[in-house]
Structure 1
Amino acid sequence: MPAAGDTPPLVVFDFDHTLYDGDSGSHLFAWMIRRRWWRTALALLLAPLFGPMVAYQPTRRVGISGFVWAGTVGLRGPRELDALIDRYVALHAEQIRARLLPVALAVFQQHRVAGDQVVVATGAPPELARAILAFVAHEDVPVVGTLVGPRLGGLGAARHCHFQMKMTMLREAGFTAPVAVAYSDSSADLPLLLAAERPVVVNPKQANVAMFRNVLPAGTPILNWGCPGRAGEPVPGSAGGAPQRVP
């Protein structure tokens, strides 16, 4: 929660494809599904129905919930999921650390050193983002993420921190100041980017670049922070320089 009194500039970072190269939640739940052969079989049975839903924004929450359920059948609540997340991160520490984007982390740290109020808002479970940020000594950063709850003997997304709900959940978490700067790769974060005084698009899909240029203010930076296969203008830090935060 933000401190009372004068509030420093609020800076919001997405997590996947912004600080982390990839979809951290998909990596987690794929591992959870592969833990048991019957979970894999269950996910394969669900894939024809739920797989296409993941690709479309209006049905994404339902699609993701199907695979989350396949990976969590038998778990009794979010605490057991958090324990599995910690185990997953410990078992895959080297691979996860390699996916953290140094350029992104440098900008992240610059905002923190400047005294900005930095928060991570992600579609992944918040415990996952916290555990990964702990690798780079940022475990104290507030994280707002997707909340899960009981569903048919497993767990499902109760509140998906995605699209307009991301803004709603940020406000409900107490981050009510105007968003000074927002960093994200995703078209699903348009409500966040449009709410920011200074939006910054990082590591977008090439297919979304024209859309971002059309709907965001003229001159909005569209950058690549060293995320392979993604669009955006490479920044000096990608080649070993010192990337700069948005002032």
Structure 2
Amino acid sequence: MPPKERIAYFYDGDVGNVYFGPNHPMKPHRLCMTHHLVLSYGLHNKMEIYRPHKAYPVELAQFHSADYVEFLHRITPDSQHLFANELARYNLGEDCPVFENLFEFCQIYAGGTIDAARRLNHQLCDIAINWAGGLHHAKKCEASGFCYINDLVLGILELLKYHARVLYIDIDVHHGDGVEEAFYFTDRVMTVSFHKYGDMFFPGTGNVKVIVFWQIVGLVNSCYIYCSSLVFPL
């Protein structure tokens, strides 16, 4: 029999305590519900459970601009009225509101993805899970689509420290525009997004006709064929 796969599971109970607002569709408390389901089904017995570190500002700035990270660090619901220009510049508002413990929330979910990538890099696990992550819309200098820090980009950057190339597959209903944009001009990351498009559906990008051909990004034919063999069966 093949050896059992080693699964690393990252969870911090504080991540579900934040509140985006009464009418906001983002409900982080669902992360706590998911964790309780994991416990109820006894799945935690099949995994190694870790509490992620809170990502440091310098880690977040590996992708995001330092001024944007610093602004997220200091903005609060009580002080936001003093920063109207900055709120507009960084796209904070109705979709991406300022709430209590915003920066800590970002630190927790980003730290989980960074830790997951590091354990994979050091071959300490075969599968790494961070349900709190996946905020794929955040851009280098602004929030977008309920996403403030793009933990996926940070995780991929960690993987690239040990691996020549990374294949990123996004199965969220929305186009993974933030990750695609971050690695658009490199041949080391191939992004594939399965999502709904059309009818003014957010974010409005990801037309099936928009494809970065392998000749543009520098992939050799054998690499492109191999990636296609992995993706198309999905």
TM over 0.5: no
Q: Which has the higher helix share?
A: 1
Q: Which has the higher strand share?
A: 1
What TM-score, normalized to structure 1? 0.28
Greater relative contact order (CA < 8 Å, ≥ 6 in sequence): 1
What TM-score, normalized to structure 2? 0.29
